[in-house]
Structure 1
Amino acid sequence: MRCIFFSFLLPFCLGSVPGNTQTHHYNAQYYPNQNLKAESASENFYTMASLLVQEQINLIARIEQAIASPDVNRMRSVRGQLTVHTKFVENFLNSQYKSPKTLCNSRADFATNSPLGEQLTESQLKIYCSLYASSQELLKLSPVLDRLLSRRGELALVRQLPLVTGERQLDPVLSIAPVQRPNLGKLAVPFSTQEPNLTSPALPIIGRTAKTAIADYVPPLQPAIAPPQEALNIVASAKKLLTTAQVEFPSGTRFTDPGETSAILERFSYDIDPQEPQIYTKFLELPGTGIFRVLPDLAYHRPPNTLQNRLQASVSERYPFPSLGNTKGGFTPSLTLQMVGERFQLEHPGVDYSFMVDLGDVPLDKLDNRLQAVARSTREFFLNYQPPKKLDDLQVERRRFLTGKDQNWNLSTVILTNAKAELNHTYLVRSLQFQLPEIMLSGTQLARQAPSTLEQLQQMHSSDIIFAFRPVRRRSDGSYTVLWRVLNQFPEPQLSDY
């Protein structure tokens, strides 16, 4: 009977339970699911937005390269990528709110008055509008890229793109030949494709006119391309907007700067590793010493039948050769060492020349200015050699070392300007470098008694230095890391036939 009575009162007791207790129990079941959905939507926003921001950073880097490059295919690629990327950004923004222009141009407080206030946080709204603004800013590049594309078409062949996938069209003249389609991932074919491949250019003859390898041949002038200031301003503005967006992402979000990546890869290709100077700290503390990377000679020369912006810094300008002495009147003696095939050789502009010998495994710190650790015949030749005083004789002497012919120095071996590369061998070099005046480098016949010629010759600087170098590391690309040391410096050689 008692049980029946309590069972009768139970519904009334439950009905008298305060409503907030039931509400609390309901919220405990509902809000966890709602929080999971909110977190999922938030993570999805950050994921998609970060991908678009990173892609826009990459696109800007490609645009910066294209506007400074003479390659028409690179310009065509970024023009199409700009259109595609803008559409992706537009779709993402519209999926969050149908009118990003109205939302982002409003001066109202996003967090309180925005229709997205309940969906996105304040940081997400800033990302949303920064991405929209940067995308609209980049759209201003479309007419600029179109103009630049038309100018690039004056340098190289512009092939038509297919209208649809798999389209096949025959040549209007040769009906049996299909139309060739471009590969925008490769360099466009320049119009000037008759450039000869002179692997070993002839030595210049200074002070007189001389025949060339190809009669009346004039090398093609490379284009000088300066990025338009209008494009640079747009890119700078878009970068600033993207920087504003990046700081609003969660702390764990990372973005890659293509410029930094390219700089790292370039240093990896042309410069020594950062830890290498630390390995040889004790040696580098000695006076007149250094360390640098000897590159293949192809790294310093433009391949034939290709285009290059002559306003851009070359490899030798970005990674200059080490200096062997003090600068005088704009002249600095340099260690212009390169790899020519499998041999070490110095670059010899003008009438510069040098000669070297392989000393074998002789430590650099064992060498001194008197070359006591060197064989007697080699030591006497390096210390007692006297360069010619006349320009014509100087050029004849230069050819003796280059060819190894007509050497009457009473030595058992031929002395050359190059030597076979061997790891952990030490090479002894005597280098003579001259700062010739422009009138001599022009290739014209010199008026030997002209006052202007005499005045320029009196201002000529030169150097005569003995140094040694030792390769300590070889890379897979054929380059070497070498240690070098200046051993002796002779008085500046002078030309006395003017």
Structure 2
Amino acid sequence: MRYIFFSLFIPFCLISVSGQGFSAESKSRSSLNQNLSSRPDESFYTTATGMVQEQVNLIARIEKAISQPDANQLRSVRGQLTVHQVATESFLKRHYPNPKALCYLEGKFSVNISFLSDQLTEPQAQIYCSLYASSQELSKLAPVLDRLLSRRGELALVRELPLVSGERQSDPVLSIAPIQHPNLAKPATPFAVQEADFPKTPPPIIAGTAKRLLAEYVPPIQAAIAPPPETLATLQMAKQTLAQAISAFPQGTQFQNSWETTAQLDRFSYDLDPQEPQTYAKFLEMPNTGIFRVLPDSAYHRQLNTLSNRLQPSVSERYPFPSLGKTNGGFTPSLALQLVGDKFQILPQGLDYNFMIDLGNIPLEKLDAKLRSVSLSTRQFFLNYQHPRKLADLQVERRRFITGKDQNWNQDQVIFTDAKAVLNHTYLVRSLQFQIPEMILSGKSISGSDRLNLEESLQMQSSDIILAFRPVRRRSDGSYTVLWRVLNQFNPPPIDDLENYVKY
């Protein structure tokens, strides 16, 4: 999508903003202003449709910019707001000279029918006044955006922009420096130090210490950005007023819903296609089954050396992993399956661990709780495996499956926590999940009240499940649509020595 940016101190700048998806619904502001001046015969409804649509898009862009740490997004919408206000004022004056008299009755926003003339019909006056009222609401945001922009300057470098026609910047080497043009499409350069690109490492050691890959390195903390409540209230009022304008247009007038478009693009990137549950409806009628989309692990991680708002819901929060059982004491076993390279891997969390085997092209419907369709050695291992009952031994066991070393399972193959992704193959998984008490995870000394209720504080929820999953579709981005089925559920696995790790 292309936008024209303007501010009182910077020139216009044409940029392309990624992730918006409004290219089909937006016009450049300069083109719109040109049309308004060069096509006086254009009908009211045609012009008003463009003005209302542009304002809908602007509100959506402002909502995004005020919740993001990128200063350039705020600079963009600040300029767009000024341009839109000028264009709206021009439109209003051309169709009625005194909008305040027409749109306010006894000090309240309402179409004053007594001021109607042959120039505007009553529905047109409703559109006119709604556009005027919403524009007045948006005008309140100019000083707010300026203030927020100054705060964003604490996170990233806000550079001066060259003129729209370009400027030659002084260069110590080149005799004729290249011409630089303004560009707000590129995010502002963050002030944060360079982040270390560490290789994939095993899960952290619980109730113990481990050597850091880089001594004394602490990753930068991302900003917590909460949009001002009064700004959100102003935007909501503007949206409600625009809704009145849209309802007054002739039947059949089409508007693009910017928020729905953004939501659809987000679902397209991370969620199932709507028809997929219908395609596999017969399988999903079976108990303890489900369908979800397995994403590359990069979808769950922020790109290094970029800014983000840690208050914004992450991909895993917007599209949670499927639940494998009922919630008990705040603990819900889940299938945190992702793609790491070309392998399926369950996201390691806390003390959780698992192991999996590729069974080949065996339909999920043929599997049962006793694994009769599986080879004898695999069946016995998955059904008879006994986990260690002590915390330190559990962590050693987890590393055995991660690395494949020191395995004495009497198996003809090494068993890992991951397996190569192959379409239409079925994977058998045994997953052990633990909700370790916070006092053990934090390693902090317990308080007096916790000492009095130590036994209750050390209560732990856990699960031990055998399940199978089968990738049935692979997309161009590398993600898979996966069917899953819980086959067996054992008694919750205990850990017997948690009290030994309590710090007094």
TM-score surpassing 0.5?
yes
Q: CA distance change for structure 1 residues 175 and 248 in 2, over 3 Å: closer, same or farther?
A: same
Q: Which residue of 2 aligns with 1:391?
A: 391
Q: CA distance change for structure 1 residues 407 and 456 in 2, over 3 Å: closer, same or farther?
A: farther
CA distance in 1, matches of 2:402, 2:212: 19
Q: Which residue of 1 aligns with 2:155?
A: 155
User: Aligned runs of 1:235-250 on 2, under 5 Å?
Assistant: 235-250=235-250
**CA contact under 8 A between 2:103 and 2:112: conserved in structure 1?**
no
| 1:183 to partner: Cα distance | 2.8
Q: Which residue of 2 aligns with 1:426?
A: 426
Q: Which residue of 2 aligns with 1:45?
A: 44
CA distance in 2, matches of 1:376, 1:435: 32
Q: CA distance change for structure 1 residues 41 and 190 in 2, over 3 Å: closer, same or farther?
A: closer
Q: Which residue of 1 aligns with 2:372?
A: 372
Q: Which residue of 1 aligns with 2:299?
A: 299
The answer to which of 295-304 and 177-186 deviates more is 177-186
**CA contact under 8 A between 1:171 and 1:179: conserved in structure 2?**
no
Structure 1 runs of 4+ off > 3 angstroms?
A: 40-43, 105-113, 171-182, 443-447, 450-458
| 1:352 to partner: Cα distance | 0.8
CA distance in 1, matches of 2:124, 2:407: 78
Q: Secondary structure at the match of 2:427?
A: strand
Q: Which residue of 2 aligns with 1:183?
A: 183
Deviations 1:345-382 (A, max 9, x none): 00111111100000011111111110000000000010
| 1:246 to partner: Cα distance | 0.8
Aligned-pair Cα RMSD in Å = 2.6
The answer to which of 299-308 and 174-183 deviates more is 174-183
| 1:121 to partner: Cα distance | 1.0
Aligned residues: 456
| 1:85 to partner: Cα distance | 0.7
**CA contact under 8 A between 1:402 and 1:416: conserved in structure 2?**
yes
User: Aligned runs of 1:280-299 on 2, under 5 Å?
Assistant: 280-299=280-299
Q: Secondary structure at the match of 1:251?
A: coil
CA distance in 2, matches of 1:210, 1:159: 42
Pair 1:123 & 2:123 matched: yes
**CA contact under 8 A between 2:300 and 2:316: conserved in structure 1?**
yes
Where structure 1 has 5 or more consecutive residues not aligned to the other structure, the ranges are: 1-39
Q: State the one-letter code of the partner of 1:188.
A: A
Q: Which residue of 2 aligns with 1:143?
A: 143
| 1:207 to partner: Cα distance | 0.9
Q: Secondary structure at the match of 1:427?
A: strand
Pair 1:483 & 2:483 matched: yes
CA distance in 2, matches of 1:280, 1:290: 9
Q: Secondary structure at the match of 1:230?
A: helix
| 1:233 to partner: Cα distance | 1.3
Q: State the one-letter code of the partner of 1:325.
A: G
Pair 1:60 & 2:59 matched: yes
The percent of aligned pairs where both chains have the same amino acid is 66
Q: Give the TM-score normalised by the residue count of structure 2.
A: 0.85
**CA contact under 8 A between 2:202 and 2:402: conserved in structure 1?**
no
Q: State the one-letter code of the partner of 1:341.
A: G
Answer with 1 or 2: which has the greater Rg: 1
Q: Which residue of 1 aligns with 2:10?
A: none
| 1:487 to partner: Cα distance | 0.6
Deviations 1:181-224 (A, max 9, x none): 76311221111141112241442011112221111111111111
Q: Which residue of 1 aligns with 2:471?
A: 471
| 1:105 to partner: Cα distance | 3.5
Where structure 2 has 5 or more consecutive residues not aligned to the other structure, the ranges are: 1-38
CA distance in 1, matches of 2:414, 2:202: 22
Q: Which residue of 1 aligns with 2:25?
A: none
Q: Which residue of 2 aligns with 1:80?
A: 79
User: Aligned runs of 1:325-340 on 2, under 5 Å?
Assistant: 325-340=325-340
Give the strand-richer structure, 1 or 2: 2
| 1:491 to partner: Cα distance | 1.2
Give the helix-richer structure, 1 or 2: 1
CA distance in 1, matches of 2:355, 2:446: 28
Deviations 1:326-351 (A, max 9, x none): 11111111000001111100011111
Q: Which residue of 1 aligns with 2:3?
A: none
**CA contact under 8 A between 1:207 and 1:444: conserved in structure 2?**
no
